[in-house]
Amino acid sequence: MKLFDKSVAATIAAKLLEIQAIRLQPEKPFTWASGWKSPIYCDNRLSLSYPAVRSLIKDNLVKAIQENFSGVEAIAGVATAGIPQGALLADALGLPFVYVRSKPKGHGMENMIEGKVTPGQKVVVVEDLVSTGGSSLKAAKDLLNAGFEVMGMVAIFTYGFDVAVENFKEAGIELICLSDYSAMLPQALANDYIDDETLASLVEWRRDPSTWGK
């Protein structure tokens, strides 16, 4: 797991905060499906409604793919938020696009992967957000099972959890992210979204999200 470019990471984080795709509220934490209390909520789908931010993300994901995954033959989006980002990338790169469902379609062909499946095709997976990496790596496994050669994955933002680093390492999947939690915190402080006391709480959450707020 690595950042594409540190200066890009700062810029992307600042823009996500500006459009409220990233929201910080440690005084009224969000509850994740896992039960964790979280001071942050990240919804990168909001970037699609802001053409300048959308283009900034698309252009840098294109560069990340070109510089790290030479020879890519197709783009795969992870349902649901990775679908529009992946389609934008595939169009910019002039490549075929498929997307991976979280579970097989319940009727018709009952597809897990939508689009033309070409065994042996070199594919890069697109995610909007990586937390633990579970759903992202499941999508990569589904592509592998369908016969694709998974070159790696790109994402807009990651929390940078140690468990995610280990999960991607164990799976042998390279992950390139445009921005992450560590790059976001200085931007939030510099632009007065948080103060020093809030920053300390946010840093503590990153150290141990499972017990924070309890």
Going by the annotation, the residues of the binding site are: 101, 105, 107, 127-135
Which residues carry a binding-site annotation for orotate? 131
Which residues carry a binding-site annotation for 5-phospho-alpha-D-ribose 1-diphosphate? 101, 105, 107, 127-135
Q: What angle do CA 181, 187, 190 make, to 5 degrees?
A: 145
CA 110 distance to own-chain centroid: 26
C-alpha pair distances (Å), 153 with each of 18, 45, 80, 86, 196: 26, 18, 16, 11, 34
- Distance, CA of 2 to CA of 22 (rounded, Å): 20
